[in-house]
Amino acid sequence: MRDLNVLKRFERFKKEIEYVNKLTDIEGIMLIEDCNLSSMDNSWYLMKKVREYKVNTRKKLNEKLDDIMKIALVIKQLHSRDMEHRDIKPDNILILNNRVYLTDFGLIFCDNDIDNLTDLNERIGPGKIAPPEFSNLGAFSYIDFKASDVYLFAKVIWMILKEEPFGFYGPYKYGEDSKQLLLDEKKYSVETFIPINKLIHEATYDDFTKRINIDDCIGYIELQQKLISNNLNDDEKVIINNLKNEELLIKFKEDKCSKHIISNKEFIAEFLQKNQFPSKIKICGTISDDKEEVKEKELLLEISRVRINHNYCQGYYFINKRKIYECHFIVNEIILNEEKQQFEFQLIEDERLWKYNNIIEARGNIVGKYYVPSNKKIVIDY
């Protein structure tokens, strides 16, 4: 058995040299300067002197994203040639002249080859961050190893941005029980990590047939780069807003314990701050003013301020683009109603806001104030 394992390692070593020599035109793959394959006991190859890549380095965010993009472009080149690395991890990223290189092609796979060096019950790939299909190759009649590369790459992105060398098991989730996984926007003073969050989430599904491809990854990285450099065009701003809404929906649906009822104050504040509300919002209940009493008003709501600790909201209602009155309310719970495709804000009473208990008609620059009490609910179609 030992002799067989030694022979397999030697064959993989020869295969690595063979393929690396075929990939010399790809920028970001380290060239082999010299090698010796005369025997198993005396086999070696020579590369330029390099430095290891440390995920806990104190690089700026734009520099880290630049490194990540360079790795992505190497993977794209490999995949365009129907080749898969299968061992993407920080240990296999090296630095030469301040540029990152992807190395160690001992597990490289070409779609046109038959893999005679990997047993069906053999575990391959980098331990903790390996995709589930790597633990039981024999359970599948076919594996898309490009999807496996994307899975590993997404884990490496997380490790670089989180500065965490050990990675995490399983898929990347948004639910309350996975809060420790989420990237820290405050740490980098960035508005949002939504593009990268989406990348990691969609690249780490357990089912490899559902994962995004490397081109999708590159698109998300580019979007994140433009966002931090404040260089988004109008179409990209719309994409970001749509991604915000999608992310919040995912968070709702993955918070299984709450059954689509969110009462966590921090999460509610995040929702209110990030969400770009649609044009019509309903306040259900009876709203009285000096002219009429209605059961439902359908108005445009623009939330201008959110106090995170108390979920206190201040906003304005508009009719025909005209600011009609200012409103104040406190959100106690948010309920996702999938059947009606609506969010419902369940409100809480606060006697400090009773001073806004009447709608005052706006005249000139004077805008009336209204407190939305707890016997009302705010409904948003999504």
Burial of 347-377, coded b for 16+ CB within 10 Å and e otherwise, reads: beeeeebeebeebeebeeeebbbbbbbeebb
**Per-residue pLDDT at 281:** 59
pLDDT at 215: 98
More confident residue, 231 or 124: 231
Q: Which of 72-76, 135-139, 225-229, 272-276 has the highest mean pLDDT?
A: 72-76
Counts for the chain of helices (H) and strands (E), in that order: 8, 15
pLDDT for 301 beyond 70: no
Q: 156 and 273, same structural domain?
A: no
Question: Tell me, what's the pLDDT at 117?
Answer: 46
Q: Taking all residues of the chain, what is their mean pLDDT, rounded to a whole number?
A: 77
Whether 147 and 279 map to the same domain: the answer is no
**Residue 40 pLDDT exceeds 70:** yes
pTM value surpassing 0.85: no
Residue 26 has pLDDT above 80, yes or no: yes
Q: Are residues 229 and 81 in the same domain?
A: yes
Tokens standing for residue 69 = 């993009």
Helix (H, G, I), strand (E, B) or coil at 354: helix
Does residue 363 carry a pLDDT above 50? Answer: no
pLDDT of residue 196: 95
* Domain with 191 in it: 1-253
Contacts 24+ apart (CB under 8 A), 91-99: 91/52, 91/126, 93/53, 93/156, 94/30, 94/50, 94/51, 94/52, 94/53, 95/50, 95/51, 95/52, 95/53, 96/30, 96/48, 96/50, 96/51, 99/28, 99/70
Task: Could you list the beta-strand ranges (E) of the chain.
Answer: 34-36, 44-46, 51-52, 83-84, 93-96, 99-102, 109-110, 261-262, 281-288, 293-307, 312-319, 322-337, 342-347, 368-371, 377-381
What sign has the CA pseudo-torsion 345, 347, 353, 355? positive
Mean pLDDT of 156-178: 84
Range with the largest mean pLDDT of 29-38, 129-138, 356-365: 129-138
Task: Among 8-22, 60-74, 198-212, 298-312, name the one with the lowest average pLDDT.
Answer: 298-312
Find the range with the poorest average confidence among 152-166, 226-240, 350-364.
Answer: 350-364
Helix, strand, or coil here: 298?
strand
Say if residue 141's pLDDT is above 90.
no
Q: What is the mean pLDDT of residues 87-102?
A: 93
pLDDT of amino acid 59? 87
Does 326 lie in the same domain as 296?
yes
Please report the pLDDT score of residue 95 as a whole number.
93
Residue 324: pLDDT over 60:
yes
How many Cα atoms within 13 Å fall on the side-chain side of residue 262? 28
Taking residues 195-215, report their average pLDDT: 95
Q: What is the percentage of the chain residues whose pLDDT exceeds 70?
A: 68
Residues 63 and 211 in one domain: yes
Q: Which of 222, 253, 284 marks a domain boundary? A: 253
How many separate domains does the chain show?
A: 2
* Mean pLDDT to the nearest integer, 161-185: 79
Q: Cα–Cα distance between 164 and 322 in angstroms, integer?
A: 50
For the cut 80, the answer to whether the pLDDT of residue 287 exceeds it is no
Nearest partner of 202 among 156, 257, 250, 130, judged by Cα: 250
One domain, residues 272 and 231: no
- What percentage of the chain carries pLDDT values higher than 90? 30
Query: For residue range 239-284, what is the model confidence (pLDDT) as tens digits?
Result: 887 787 777 667 666 655 445 677 767 677 777 766 655 545 566 6
Please report, for the domain that includes residue 143, its CATH number. Answer: 1.10.510.10
Whether 149 and 77 map to the same domain: the answer is yes
Same domain, yes or no: 191 and 336: no
133 and 207 share a domain?
yes
Give strand pairing partners of 34.
46
Residue 231, number of CB atoms within 10 A of its CB: 9
Q: If we measure between CA atoms, which residue out of 105, 97, 106, 199 comes closest to residue 154?
A: 199
Residue 303 Cα distances to 80, 124, 225, 312, 314, angstroms:
46, 51, 28, 10, 6
243 with 288, same domain: the answer is no
Same domain, 242 and 291: no
pLDDT at 206 over 90: yes
Distance of CA 1 to the CA centre of its chain: 43
316 lies in the same domain as 221: no
Among 188, 223, 253, the domain boundary falls at: 253
Averaged pLDDT for residues 157-183: 82
